[in-house]
Amino acid sequence: MSDLVIRTEELSRHFGSVRAVDSLSLEVPAGIVFGFLGPNGAGKTTTIRLLLGLLEPTSGRASVLGLDTRTESERIRQLCGALLEHSGLYERLSAEDNLEFYGRVWRMPAAERQKRARDLLTHLGLWERRRELVGTWSRGMKQKLALARALLHRPRLIFLDEPTSGLDPVGAVAVREDLARLATSEGVTVFLTTHNLAEAEKLCQRVGVIREGRLLAVGSPDELRTRTGAPRAQIIGRGFDGSVLSLLRTRPEVANVQLHDGQLSLELRGEADMAPLVSLLVNAGAQVEEVRKGKASLEEVFLTLMEEER
Amino acid sequence: MITDVLTIVWKEWKEVLLQRSGMRRGWLNVLLMVAVFGVFLPLQAGRDWVTSPIVLGSWAWVPIMLVANIIADSFAGERERHTLETLLASRLPDTAILLGKMLAAVSYAWGITLVSLVLGVITVNATHWEGRLAMYPPHLIVGGVGISLLTAALAAGVGVLVSLRASTVRQAQQTLGVATLLVVWVPILAMGMLPQSWQVRISEALGAANSMGALLGAMLALAAVDVGLVVAARARFRRARLILD
């Protein structure tokens, strides 16, 4: 958490009357996986384009690896890797040729780019199929290859724009696992945009939530849970009828009660003690089998933030 | 810069020759072109193929056709196949991407033209031998080599400008097809519509082109147009615009 690799100050980009990015102030420390969460059209891709210097901001400023995105964009692109909205692979070329091309683009010496390509493809389980045309591959394999391409020149920072979007669950898990493994072994900082909250929860040390171009919250998943999500409890058992629910709603420590598939979900005010609530349920004739207490998931935090913004 | 330009040329050649619709198809296309312009047409024309100044017209036209065939794909193809943004997000400078795309198309067309020029002489001598070697006169060699290079660059310049704007390869191909037709047919049709006396005067002027000085003048004019097109394409090349288009 020492150096900052990304720093934006009131960064904005407007397209006519649409504010794709609106006064975004953000800091991303080095060496972490940073998740940029938001629904479709929130401004995630535009932010990446601004950070790579592919678009000029309407106002504000941003620096990436200490370089100004307006004046030093070529140098930023030299030091960063990117897997954007589309994999960007040449489907009429083989996997080997795709990496060879980008190795040349990054001016890697021949021996080094061949060794690096071999290491990455082996790591991702694609080495045996390196001579096949990429166009014949599944989407999951293409995403893995695109990940290899983004890491080929050992960038200090990589931008990944929804890397598991459109993949089936098995493919998404495989890419996610490879990403986590590579991020650790390569020591690279990852700026990851996603609307998959489970993915962000598994991969990211810090997350930022964006909606309609505005940053709603930023912090570690735990911090966000504490800040926006109340403690919760789940009670599994039998006999949870309307009278039991009404009884629970009268308790000051209970903010909300919901009955779903025979399970009670309680939203609590503060760190409430569960024992009196369980006694209340038992005295009312309910049978309690299991009580689970925990914090809100990132998905619940996200939905709360979206709701608050409305 | 030169290394970056050659990197783009490497990738373009790889796509055009080795993998586009399969390796065999890519090379077959090249062989077909060489067979038509290096064997079939010289066979038909006989010794006139290496002596007539009219042949210069072929060497001007062939590269335009060959470049038009592939240059439409340069940017519109990358955009259509969603590879453009990743390329633009790389460290390559704008000029290297642009010149690399143009050089790939020019070298493809000019290479085929030069091979056909050499093969044409061999074909004519092998099939129409009259006891002495038939060879292009010096002004036709200079014209054939120089004009073909410059018209290839002309087509590449126009093609890149069209491809930068087009959203699909088909749209770029259609626009370039119309442009090529205009370049080839408008002068021919216009010539036919002129009064007889004007036609005679123009023919005399073209006859005078059978001299090194006139050829060099025409080549200089073409080179100036080519430079203008490169400058225009460079001005048109804006990463932000290419991404948002």
Enumerate the residues of chain B whose CB falls inside 8 A of the CB of residue A74: 91, 93
Please compute the mean of the pLDDT values over residues A18-29 and round it to a whole number.
91
Q: What percent of chain A has pLDDT over 90?
A: 37
Provide residues of A within 8 Å CB-CB of chain B. Answer: 15, 49, 52, 54-56, 74, 77-78, 82, 84-94, 97, 101-102, 104-107, 133
Residue range A294-304, pLDDT digits in tens:
766 677 777 77
Tell me, what's the pLDDT at A168? 78
Residue A190 backbone dihedrals phi, psi, to 5 degrees: -115, 125
Structural domains of chain A ordered from first start: 4-226 (3.40.50.300), 230-294 (3.30.70.100)
Residue range B145-180, pLDDT digits in tens:
898 999 999 999 999 999 998 888 899 989 988 888
Tell me, what's the pLDDT at B16? 82
Cβ atoms of B85 and B243 within 8 Å: the answer is: yes
Closest CA to A62 of A47, A77, A74: A47
Give Cβ neighbours of residue A86 (< 8 Å, ≥ 6 apart): B82, B83, B85, B86
| Contact between B15 and A91 using a beta-carbon 8 Å cutoff | no
* Strand arrangement of the beta sheet that strand A157-161 belongs to: A80-83, A157-161, A189-194, A33-37, A206-211, A214-219
- pTM, two decimal places: 0.80
- Whether B21 shows a pLDDT value over 60: the answer reads no
Enumerate the residues of chain A whose CB falls inside 8 A of the CB of residue B85: 54, 84-86, 88
Provide residues of B within 8 Å CB-CB of chain A. Answer: 3-4, 7, 10-11, 14-15, 19-20, 81-83, 85-93, 239-240, 243-244
Enumerate the residues of chain A whose CB falls inside 8 A of the CB of residue B90: 77, 102, 105-106
Please compute the mean of the pLDDT values over residues A274-285 and round it to a whole number.
84
Mean pLDDT of chain A: 86
Please compute the mean of the pLDDT values over residues B42-64 and round it to a whole number.
81
- Where are the domains positioned within chain B? 2-244
